[in-house]
Amino acid sequence: MAFATKNRQLLSRIATNDRPGENSPYFEGWKAYDSNPFHPTQNPDGVIQMGLAENQLCFDLIKKWILKNPQASICTAEGVDKFKDISIFQDYHGQKEFREAVAKFMGRVGGNMVTFDPNRIVMSGGATGANETVMFCLADPGDAFLVPSPYYPAFLRDLRWRTGLEIVPVDCNSSNNFRITRAALEEAYERAQRLNINVKGVIIANPSNPLGTTLDRETMRSLVSFINEKNIHLVCDEIYAASVFSSPRFISVAEIIQDMDCNRDLIHIVYSLSKDMGFPGFRVGIVYSFNDLVVHCARKMSSFGLVSSQTQYLLASMLSDEEFVENFLKESSQRLAKRHRVFTHGLEQVGISCLKGNAGLFSWMDMRPLLKEQTVEGEMELWRVIVNEVKLNVSPGSSFQCSEPGWFRVCFANMDDEIVEIALDRIGKFVRQGKEEDVAPKKPKRWQKKLHYLFCCCR
C-alpha cells in the first residue's frame, strides 16, 4: 500500500486524478458486458450490449461501394500505385480532397442550407479529440462550460480531464420534454457567477445524446442570443446530424446564424463520421469554427490526433460519390426509422414509454414506474438488476446527470434484428414478472424476486 502511494506521487496530476469520470455506471455497464458478452450460440445468457451508440445497420451499403470502387484503397491491386504518395509524410492541414468532401457532406446533411468552407475543416482523432481541442482553444484551467442535462457521460472526460475545465449543468426536465430554456440557462449562469466560476461558453449536442431529439429553430436562436449577450462561446456537437429519421429536420447552428446579427467568432461546430456513417474505428473528428484564430490554433493542435492519410484517401473518394451519399443517407434514415419503430413498439407492448424521438441511435426510456423510490438510489438499484440479472447493459439517467431519476438510455442500432427481439423478450419477461404477483414459479430467479419486490413496494 505504501509502495502504491509513493508510486502515485511520482506521477502527474493528470495520471492520478479521477476526472476521466470512468467510475460512472455508464462505464460500469460496459465492464459487465465485456466480462460476459452475449453471443446467440456461444453465450446466449450473456449481457446484451445496449449501451453502445453505434450504427451497424448499413454496412452492406458500405461493402457494396468498396467492392465497386477498389481503387479507393491503396491496399488493393487497383489502388496500390498510390501507396507511396499516401503513406509518406502528410501536412496536418489534411488532404485537400478530403476536406472538400467532408465540407460538402456536412452541407448535404444539413439539407444544403449552408455551404461549409473546406479551409475551416480541421481534423482530430474522433469527436472526443475534436471536443477537447475546442476546449483547449477556448478556455483555461478552472474555467467552465454550461452543459444542458441530461448530457453525454463522457463529456466529463472529453471536456475536463486534460483541460482542467469544469462543467456546470443546465438542468432540464420532462415537464417540457427536456427542452433547453432561456430561464434554465440564466439560472445556471448566475449560479456559476455566485461561485466565482468563469463561464466561457455553452456546449450542446444537437441532435441530443441521450434524448434522441433535434433542437427546434426557436431554441437554437435563443441559445445564440444568450451566448451573444453574455459574450461567451457556443459549441455545437452535431455528430448525429445525419441520424435523423423523422421530422422535424436537423438544423445546424451554421444555418441559424445566417440570418442573425451575432458575433460569429463565438460559434464552433464539432462533427464526426463515427455515428452517421458508422465509422468510429476510423477516428474521424472535425472541428469547424467561424473564428479564424480558433481554426489556426486547432490546426496546429491537430498534430496530436490526425486522421490517417489512408483513411482520408478512402473517405474522400466515398464522400465525393454523390449518388452513393444520397442513397446511403436515405437508406440509413429509413432503416433507423424502422428499428426505432420496432423497438419502441416492443417496449409499449409491456407498458414502457419513451420520450418521443426523431434522431440518434437510442431511445430515452421512462422506467420511473418501476422504481422502488424516486431517488438516484432507487434508479441504481433497478439498474443493477437489469444489468446483472436481466443481462442488458442499459445506461441510467444519473450517469447523464439527469435531474429526474428513472430515465434510461437504451441503444438499438448496434445489433441485428434477432438480437433486438431477444432484448425485447428479456425486457418483456422482466416487466411481466413483476406484475404476476399471484404466480410464483417453483424456482424463481433472483432478478424475478427483486422485480416482484420492486412492484410491490410501488403499489
354 within domain boundaries:
yes
The yes-or-no answer on residue 239 being catalytic is yes
Q: Is 237 a catalytic residue?
A: yes
Enumerate the β-bridge partners of residue 84: none
User: What pLDDT sits at residue 90?
Assistant: 75
Q: Where does a domain end: 321, 352, 378?
A: 321
Pair 51, 183 in one domain: no
**Mind listing the pLDDT tens digit for each residue in 3-23?**
555 666 788 888 888 777 677
Residue 2 placed within a domain: yes
Q: Is residue 269 part of a domain?
A: yes
Q: Is residue 229 part of a domain?
A: yes
Q: Are residues 218 and 332 in the same domain?
A: no
- State whether 371 and 387 are in the same domain: yes
Determine whether 321 is an active site residue.
no
Q: Predicted confidence band at 196 (pLDDT cuts at 50, 70, 90)?
A: very high
Q: What is the pLDDT of residue 443?
A: 52
> What distance in Å separates the CA atoms of residue 395 and residue 391, rounded to the nearest whole number?
12
Q: Report the chain's terminal Cα–Cα distance, integer Å.
A: 48
The one catalytic residue in 275, 276, 313, 450 is 275
**Three-class SS state of 409:** strand
Mean pLDDT across the chain: 91
Q: How confident is the model at residue 94 (pLDDT cuts 50, 70, 90)?
A: confident
> Which tens digit of pLDDT belongs to each residue from 199-225?
999 999 999 999 999 999 999 999 999
Per annotation, catalytic residue among 26, 33, 151, 152: 152
The answer to whether residue 456 is domain-embedded is: no
Residue 343 · residue 394 · CB < 8 Å:
no
235 and 287 share a domain?
yes
In a domain, 220, yes or no: yes
Count structural domains, the chain. 2
- CA distances to 41, 155, 424 from 432, rounded to whole Å, are 26, 36, 12
What pLDDT does 439 receive? 43
Based on the domain organization, do 53 and 88 belong to the same domain?
no
Domain with 94, as residue range(s), is: 79-321
182/163 same-domain check: yes
Select which of 121, 203, 239, 267 is catalytic: 239
* Domain stops at, among 277, 296, 321: 321
Any domain includes 139: yes
Q: CB burial class (10 A; 0-12, 13-18, 19+) of residue 27? A: middle
**Domain check: are 11 and 137 in the same one?**
no
Catalytic option among 158, 237, 276, 366:
237
Order of strands across the sheet that contains 233-237: 121-125, 284-289, 267-272, 233-237, 199-205, 144-149, 166-171
- Give the domain-ending residue among 321, 356, 391: 321
pLDDT digits (tens, 9 = 90+) for 63-86: 999 999 999 988 888 888 888 888
In terms of domains, do 316 and 330 share one? no
Is position 443 annotated as part of the catalytic site? Answer: no
Q: For residue 39, is it left (φ>0), alpha (ψ between -120 and 50) or beta?
A: beta
Residue 348 has pLDDT above 90, yes or no: yes
User: How many Cα atoms are found within 13 Å in the side-chain-facing hemisphere of 120?
Assistant: 20
Examine residue 74 and state whether it is found in any structural domain, yes or no: no
